[in-house]
Every structure is written in C-alpha cells, then in structure tokens.
Structure 1
Amino acid sequence: MSWKLTPTGTDAQLRGLSVLSRHVAWASGARGTVLRTVDGGRSWQQVGPPDTEALDFRDIEAFDARNAVALSIGNGEDSRIYRTTDGGATWTETFRNTEPAAFYNCVAFFDKRHGLVAGDPVEGEFRILSTSDGGRSWQRVPGDGIPPALDGEFQFSASGQCITVAGKRDAWIATGGSTVARVLHSADRGRTWTASETPLLSNPSAGVFAVAFRTTRQGGAHGIAIGGDFLNPTGGEDNLALTRDGGHTWREPVNSPAGYRSAVVYHPFLHSVLLAVGPTGSDLSLDAGRRWHQFDDGTFDSVDCGRDGACWASGAQGRVASLRIG
C-alpha cells in the first residue's frame, strides 16, 4: 500500500478534500485555491471563486463533478461559504460571517440538501449553521440547544473534519483547546447537542482534530476521535480514542499512530479498515482502529474515500495523492 502523488500545478496547502470516486475529487486550501479532477488526478483544474486569493478554503463538500460547497475560514468576514453548480465555472457566495469574533471551521452534509457548519464559540456559545436547501441559504442554530463551551475550547480547522455526519440525522463536532477534549453529538440534524469527554490530550494546541463515524447493521454508531498536539507532531500519546455507542463513551486503543494526526476516514465498504494522516505520516488500521501501522512518512493534512472505495489524501505544497493497493 502506498500513495501515488498526482501533479496539481499549485504549491498551496490543501486542507480541504472531497472524494467522489476514483475519477472525481475536489481539493481546497490557501490563496483561494479550489481544484477539481475528473480524470483520476491526471489533470487538475483551478476552479476557485474569483477574487478570493486572500481566503483560505479549509473545507469543501462535493456532491458530484458539478456541485460543491466550499468554506473559507477566519475571523469576521473571512468566514464565508460559496456554492457552485457548474464544476466551478461560476460560484455564488451564500454566507458571509458578520460577527467579528466568530470563526467557522468545517462543513458536512447529510445529503444533497441538509448540511451543517461548525464554528468556534463566541462568549461561551458555539456557532453552528444549518442548511436545508443544499447550501443556498444558512441559518444559525439557536444556542439554547448547544452545551456551553469550556474556557478556551474551540475547533481545529486542520482538515475539514472537525464535524462529521453519519446516516440521516446524526452529527458530531470535535473540540480541543481547553483542559478536556470533547465531542459534541446531535441526533436531530444539529438542532440539539450533548457533549462527552474523550481521553485525548487537550491544551491550546491539542485536542480532537477529526472525527469519523459509521453506522452498524444493528443501528448503532461506531466512531473514532483523532488528534494530538500539532506543536509536537511526533508525540503519539493520547491522540486517539474509539467509541461503540455513538460517542457517549470513549476508550483508548491497543496502540495509536506515532504522532499527531489531523484526519481520519473509514473505508466505505471495508468496515474494519481506517486511514489516518498527518504531517509526519499515514497510518492504516485493519481492526476498526484498535491497532495501527504506519505505511508512509510523507506529509498530508486530509484524507477521504469515495463510495467506490477510492481513497485520496491532500496537504502541504499542493500535495494530492491517490491510494495504491499492492
């Protein structure tokens, strides 16, 4: 197993990644960069919104080769959402943050209509946006259904995976920065939330950076929380936890990746297979996250898999690679 790098034509850091198949993938990142391939990475088109070179598109969610939603991060008006329906030929700005202290980090969609955006707390109250029309419009989720933030708590926009969804209604948000790293869970498409503590290290540079979940045949949700300390990228202690009850309780595995990891993904149909990536390498688990083996020492920020089983990673210096088995 190895990564096969593809030429993207950019040196921008690409923290946003959305994979549809072995042929179609989108990536996004610094300097207003949005890339799209429809030929398996043999060529990438620069399709970012015009006049956005000052923005950092930390997350992108694509529905197919033509439809996608991109999120830029930052304080105040730097947090924006754009939508395209023609493969990036044209874009519509559908949200611009007007709160100077607000900062939005990640976006995820349940289906082509319903999605959520997670943001850092303002005066102790998390900012969460929802859409029911495919990202054409966004509404703020009322704060009375969201647990109060801890002192110093926030989300990390390192990979676009600080929020994830599974099934039609369940969503999870990853946090860090405080004395405890938590995962927030909603079972009603983001209207109300509960919080659980994880055993991951948490401080201003550490916490849960990414979460991933899959539903089981019994109707439950198995999940993983991954992270560490980005200022200590080779530190592998307290950087991963697993859950079998939808995030209510968490436990540490037999071993974990040997360093900070910013992204993780379940293989779409090999249910016991997980991939994790970070600045010091990529790791594989064949037993649902209990044991891990590093198979690459290159730097990546995000990882995603399409429904056909094709997996890709993206990261610094315009690096995008597809996974090669064997």
Structure 2
Amino acid sequence: MNPIKPLLGALLGAQLALTGASVGAAPQPADAPYAWKPVAIVGGGFVDGIVFQPAVPGLAYARTDMGGAYRRDSATGPWQPLLDWLPLADVNLMGVESLAVDANDPDALYLACGTYTNPLVPNGAVLRSHDRGRTYQRTDLPFKLGGNEGGRGNGERLAVDPNDGRVLYLGSRLAGLWRSTDAARSFRRVDAFPDSAWQRQASDGAPPSWGGSDGKATINFVLFDPKSGTRGQPSRTIYAGVSVVGRPSLWVSRNAGASWQAVPGGPTQHRPMRAALAGDGQLYIAYASDPGPHRMKDGSVWRLAPRTGTWTDITPERPGAADPFGYATVAVDATNPQRLLASTVGRGKGDQLFRSTDGGATWTRLFPAAQFDAAAAPYVADTPLHWLYDVSIDPANPDHALFTTGYGGWETRDLTAADRGQPTHWQVMAGGIEETVALALHSPTKGVPLVTAIGDYSGFVHTDLDKPAPGNPKPPFFGNTHDVTGAELAPEVIVRIGHARDGGRNLGYSLDGGKTWHEPRSVPAGATTGDGFIAVSADGRAWVWTPKSKDGSQPHVSHDHGDTWTPVQGLPAGTRVIADRVNPKRFHAMALFDDQLFSSDDGGLSFGARPLALPDGPVLRADAGSNNHSTRGDDRGGQDRLYAAPGHEGELWLPAFHGLYVKHAGQAFQRLPAVSEIHAFGFGRAAPGKKDPALYLVGTVAGRYGIFRSTDGAKTWQRINDDAHQWGLILQISGDPKVFGRVYVGTHGRGVLYGDPARP
C-alpha cells in the first residue's frame, strides 16, 4: 500500500500533478501451495458497469461496487477476476467507481478504485494496465471515490479520449473534474470546469442518505465526441454530466477542455444518470430523480441534437404517483444509431427494458414477451429484476446485449428478434463473477461439503462446490442469513437464522442434512430481525439464540425444535454462545471486554460466570489499552470470538484480534506465540497421523499477513495463500472436517473460495 495524505491545495483547485507508481513489492509465494477455486454461487452482488473493448470482438470488462473488476475474453466465456491480488491494506480499492478502455489500444485498461468517501478511509487510486488487467501500475489520487456509495451505478466517470489515448478525464464526487495527459500516470484538476457546476447547492434536493453521496452534486459521466478530433490529437468536444437538479446538468467543452459551458435547454427537474453518443451525432441521456440505487420518484429519457441544440423528450413510459420510477441508462447500437435500449430503475413492480428502432420516437417493452433461463444461477428466479443501471449492446454483434442487476445480470443473443415481434431469450451472464458477502460458514462432519450464510441473498446448501445450488434453502425464505451452524455429533441437524421475507419466521432448520427445511412454531422475543448468533448442542437437541435486535437481545434456548423458547439465565444480553463439540449438555460463552467466561452444563438453560483470566491481562475496549486497537477488525469477522475444539471436551480457543489463546480442559488460558493479529479462525480435519484438528486463520503470523494453517496445535504455521489470492477483506474461514487440507474462505465481496493443497 502506498497511500498519500489528502492534499487540501488540490481540493481547492491547485494544479498538482500526482505521479504513478508500480503496484506492490515482490510477490510472496505460499509456504504450502494451494489451488483455489470459487464455491459456485454466481453473481450475488451489484455489477454496476460493463464496458466493451470495441477493438476486440468479445472482449468486455465489468465493475462491481465492492468486489473488484472482471474481464471476459469471449462472448461465451466466464468472467475472470482482476483484483484478487489486493491485500487487506488496500481493501478500499475493491470498490471500482469507474472503468475505461482505450479504443485504439486493445490491451489498455483503467480502473478508478475507491469504495467510500468516508474521512476514515484512504484516498482513491487509478490502476492502469497494459495487458488487459493482468498487471497494474497505480496512480494515487488526492481525493476519495465512492464505488459502494449512492449513485454508484451512474457513469462512466472515467473516460479515455478515443483520438488520443494519453488523455483521460475523471469526474469525481467531491473534488471536481480531473484530467491526465500521460495515460493516467498523473492527474491535474481541470480548473476551467466551474465549481458552480458540481458543488452542492441548497436546491439540489434531499440530504445524503445511506451511501454517502446521494445528496451531493457528483460528476456522473464524461463522454468524448470522436468526430471532433483526428487521430493523435485530443478530441475537441467533451461532455460532462453532473448530478444536480434545478440548474443545468450537462456541460460541454468544444476546445479540448480549455473552457466549459452549460448546454442550454435541457431538463433540470431530474439528474442525469448515463449517456450515449450515437454514430449519427445524437446524444441520448437517461434521467432520474435520485442517484440511486434505492427507489426513485421520477425520471425521463431525452435526445439532444448537438448541431441544432434541440432537446426532445423521448421517455418510453411516464412514471406516476402510483408507479414511481426513474431511468438509469440508454444504450445505442454501434451498427445502427436508430436502435436503442433504455432501462427503468427503482420500480417497485420490477424494472423494465425498452427497445426502440427509430431513435426513441416509439418504444416497445421487452420483458413481457421475454423468456428468462436462470439455470446458471437458480436462486435469481426468486429475485425481481432490479438495479438495471447499465445496458450494453455488443459493438461487434447487435444481437448480443447485457444488462446489470443487483445480483449480477442477464444477456441475450437474439436482441433483434424483438424488432420482428418475436420474444428475446435471456440467460444469466454472471458466470465467473462471485460477489457475495459470507457472514458464516458451516461444514458438517458428515454430508454436504458446505452450508453458507450470505448477506442479501440468503445462503446455500452446496452439494457440489463447482455447481450452483438449486436455489436458496426454504422455508423460510431469507434475505440476509446472519448465522448457520449444526450439531457436531448429529450432522443431519442444521439451523440457520436470518431476515425472513414474506412474513416467515426468522429461523429455519433441517433434520436431514439440508435436503428439506422447516420453520419453527415460534421464535424468541427480540428476534424480530433474525440477526445475532445461533448455537446447536453436539446432539442437536438444544438451540441457543442470541439476538442482536435493538428491541431485545436476551439469549433464549429451545429444546423442542423451536416450539418453545426459554430465556437463558446468567448471561448478559447480547452474549454469543457456542456449543461444546463433545458434551451435548455443555455450552460456553464469553464477554471479552468484561473479562468474563461463562459455561452451562444443563443444555443452555443457565450459565455460571468466572474470570476470563487471559495471561496478559484483560482486553480493554477500543482506545483504552495497550493490547487493544482503535478498531478490532470488521465485527462480522471471526476474531474476538470463542471457539470450541472438535474432539476435545472443554477445550476453548480464543482468536482475539491481537493474538491467539487456548484453554485446555481444567487449565488456564495461554497465549500462543507468533500470531499478532487475527481476522478469521476455524478448525479442519486433522492431518494424517495427527490427533489434533488442523487450525486455519487469517491474520498476521511472524510479521506476515495471509491465510495460515497449523497441523501441530499452533506450534508452527504455514502460509497457504500467495499474493495473487488475497481478496481484500476476509471475514470467515473454516476447514472441512471430512477432508484434510480443504479450507473455505468467506470474503467481503468476492464470494466464498475453497482451497485444496496443490498437487505436485
């Protein structure tokens, strides 16, 4: 990581050049090489932009809001991840604000990276590649980007001059318009672009909501007119769209950026989202009331004839009070400037895609007659079409089009069938893209390899790690699944908690290893959102649920599959409970910052307390002590939690954020050497000839960050990942109790991976 401090002078308009640097030091290999593959879910996150490379048929790039970027080398091949090498220190770069290609250099790729504009996160950076994303150089920016903030589906904010590949423009959220004249090695602020065009004013509408930038006047897109220049000389005409209302939002330069003027006559009641310049010179712009991706109130689509300055309202369908929505994008067929696609966004009934063959004079709805095949990701059949923020028509094939969604996207290869009055056929386009957030992993001692708890898209029972599950487990049908676990000695019992949709209860259980699922008759008081933690006794008969809901977080226990629940005695509210993995009557719990350890020997009905008694003293809360940090990692991660060892009654492991501790039955905790920071921890099957389970952790061992395995009770560790496989932030890790060496890794935005020792 090579962060630079925010530069106030640059933000105020000083002409400061930022030089580029190579990314990273020499790659560190693994101590024990592993082969890594994704656990097939397919999609699962917001793909918010797709750009074709016009010079190479079939070559396209996709960006995501928090899961990096991808390349697809043919129209039928899987997407390949491009940023898996980013370490935890650079996790902020996993959110890709914008991407751009050079129409005259088939190997050039530029990524504007930065997930949040929060003051606590580092500034953004532009990653530039000249081998299609295989290697990069990095240019740090003096401002922040918001790849996972409001308006993240707008764009593209980064653009390469099609006449002069040395020239790039980058529209920022908070710092105006920036230009590079050396192929992104450095950027300078474009002071000629007036501050009044993009700085927020009181008339700009609602204050910011979730996502940070919803109420701010960000620069949403930059477009060059390729006919305004000659090869080797910068294009003279450049458009910039600014997310404002009540004042001009489209700006143009006709002298290669030396001066800028507002384009008169355009709509001011909505914000411009995306734009497309057709081959006949017509400019098409989609507008919406809000940057998104939340629900919209209104929107429209307009066409501008730049030669005459004439604006024409070509909105396919007018939103109304009973059916509010906006428009996200409009796409143009490169082979026929009259053929268009436009998408709605934020429509409560599900979004719609419109087709025009006469430049927007008339439109046809595509989806009522369209046929959708979800075989590549069966879970999406339960999810309405939403967040269609980008629609792209393949410049090499007018029958091939893609649109993005909050769970990946769809594509067709018979788009022009609609022009003949025939249905179009759509397939899931996200093969190779894995963008889920794993909140918990459970690998049973017998049966299926893995059960996952996934943010936003429930979770899955993975009977085959290389093939998508046939759908989400249900009933009940969850949105978020917050936790999942099972019984050590009765692996057919699996219990999950989450936020139920359609009025279901917030707990589901299986008594046949995940084949079928059931709802309980009741849930505990306070479990209104389905969050918190669930523990299942070794024999599967007792379940202890600790909700984290604001309206109550008292742990409850059930001994009858959720028919009834009893408040747990002797535990503070919100205390996470785990089951002993040998003794069915025993449960354990911990209050780390209160220096307390709890145990139950009556099936979780009551707990007794005693001091935690770590050998180096109590762990104090944030900013309160020398063995603590201002932050202790992501609170959804596996650190600062108590774990019970498989096969050893009463043996407890505490992977604290600052180090690793173990307590054998009847003994005190001891701190183990070498480990100085932990983000995730888990057990796996013992190595051949060993009695103790394998240990896996994500963190820092002997001064090195990575994924580590120990087969000798933490006496020694081997790093099992290399620098090409880091995936930003890892929240969860678990070995497989059935297969030695197999390990599952749950990331924040790059899905779930599994690794096996590499074969010689």
Distance 2:755 2:717 in 1: 17
Q: CA 1:187 to 1:307, structure 2 compared with 1: closer, same or farther past 3 Å?
A: same
2:656 paired with 1:227: yes
Q: CA deviation at 1:302?
A: 2.2
Question: 2:40 corresponds to which residue?
Answer: 7
Aligned 8 A contact 2:580 2:650 in 1: no
Aligned amino acid, residue 313 of structure 1:
V
Structure 2: give runs of 5+ residues left out of the alignment.
1-32, 45-434, 623-630, 633-638
Of 498, 522, 526 in structure 2, the residue corresponding to residue 99 of structure 1 is 526
After superposition, the C-alpha distances for 1:21-72 in whole angstroms (9 at most, x for unaligned) are 585321012124111221234333331447856x431211256998632112
2:524 paired with 1:108: no
Distance 1:198 1:51 in 2: 41
SS in 1 for 2:459: strand
Distance 1:138 1:268 in 2: 38
SS in 2 for 1:127: coil
Asked which structure has the greater RCO (Cα within 8 Å, sep 6+), the reply is 1
Q: CA 1:202 to 1:82, structure 2 compared with 1: closer, same or farther past 3 Å?
A: farther
After superposition, the C-alpha distances for 1:118-144 in whole angstroms (9 at most, x for unaligned) are 346999x973322323x343422442x
Of 451, 472, 485 in structure 2, the residue corresponding to residue 61 of structure 1 is 485
Distance 2:475 2:697 in 1: 33
Distance 1:210 1:67 in 2: 22
Which of the two has higher C-alpha Rg?
2
After superposition, the C-alpha distances for 1:80-136 in whole angstroms (9 at most, x for unaligned) are 32224574665425544433899632333322333322346999x973322323x34
Question: 1:277 corresponds to which residue?
Answer: 698
Distance 1:315 1:267 in 2: 22
Aligned amino acid, residue 239 of structure 1:
G
Distance 2:736 2:641 in 1: 21
In terms of fraction of residues, the more strand-rich structure is 1
Question: 2:679 corresponds to which residue?
Answer: 261
Distance 2:460 2:574 in 1: 28
Aligned amino acid, residue 186 of structure 1:
S
Distance 2:527 2:440 in 1: 24
2:470 paired with 1:42: no
Of 621, 643, 659 in structure 2, the residue corresponding to residue 211 of structure 1 is 643
SS in 1 for 2:749: helix
- Correspondence list, 1:147-296, <5 A: 149=572, 154-155=574-575, 163-167=578-582, 168-176=584-592, 178=593, 180-193=594-607, 194-199=609-614, 201-203=619-621, 206=632, 208-216=640-648, 221-228=650-657, 238-245=658-665, 249-256=668-675, 258-267=676-685, 270=690, 271=692, 273-277=694-698, 281-296=706-721
Q: CA deviation at 1:190?
A: 1.5
Runs of 4+ in 1 over 6 A off after TM superposition: 63-66, 100-103
Q: CA deviation at 1:221?
A: 3.3
Question: 2:509 corresponds to which residue?
Answer: 83
2:459 paired with 1:30: no
Q: CA deviation at 1:170?
A: 2.3
Aligned 8 A contact 1:108 1:165 in 2: no
Distance 1:251 1:78 in 2: 45
Distance 1:266 1:196 in 2: 29
Distance 1:19 1:61 in 2: 8
Question: 1:300 corresponds to which residue?
Answer: 730
Q: CA deviation at 1:203?
A: 1.9
Q: CA 1:272 to 1:68, structure 2 compared with 1: closer, same or farther past 3 Å?
A: closer
Distance 1:100 1:291 in 2: 42
Aligned 8 A contact 1:24 1:65 in 2: no
Aligned 8 A contact 2:505 2:519 in 1: no
Aligned amino acid, residue 254 of structure 1:
P
After superposition, the C-alpha distances for 1:284-314 in whole angstroms (9 at most, x for unaligned) are 1232124444333444322334442354232
User: How many pairs does the alignment contain?
Assistant: 294
Distance 1:65 1:212 in 2: 16
Aligned 8 A contact 1:272 1:289 in 2: no
Question: 1:316 corresponds to which residue?
Answer: 748
Structure 1: give runs of 5+ residues left out of the alignment.
157-161, 229-237
- Correspondence list, 1:105-144, <5 A: 105-119=533-547, 127-133=554-560, 135-143=561-569
After superposition, the C-alpha distances for 1:242-271 in whole angstroms (9 at most, x for unaligned) are 11125x621111221x53323322535741
Q: CA 1:106 to 1:30, structure 2 compared with 1: closer, same or farther past 3 Å?
A: same
Distance 1:19 1:223 in 2: 19
Q: Equivalent pairs: percent with the same residue?
A: 9
Normalised by the size of structure 1, how large is the TM-score?
0.72
Q: CA 1:121 to 1:226, structure 2 compared with 1: closer, same or farther past 3 Å?
A: farther
Distance 1:166 1:65 in 2: 11
Distance 1:142 1:172 in 2: 12
- Cα RMSD, aligned residues only: 4.0
Aligned 8 A contact 1:71 1:107 in 2: no
Distance 1:7 1:266 in 2: 21
Question: 1:235 corresponds to which residue?
Answer: none
Distance 1:268 1:187 in 2: 27
After superposition, the C-alpha distances for 1:175-205 in whole angstroms (9 at most, x for unaligned) are 34x3x45432223322332343153744255
Distance 1:66 1:313 in 2: 23
Distance 1:240 1:182 in 2: 17
Distance 2:738 2:585 in 1: 23
Q: CA deviation at 1:214?
A: 3.5
SS in 2 for 1:208: coil
Aligned amino acid, residue 172 of structure 1:
H
Distance 2:620 2:499 in 1: 22
Aligned amino acid, residue 697 of structure 2:
A
Q: CA deviation at 1:154?
A: 4.7
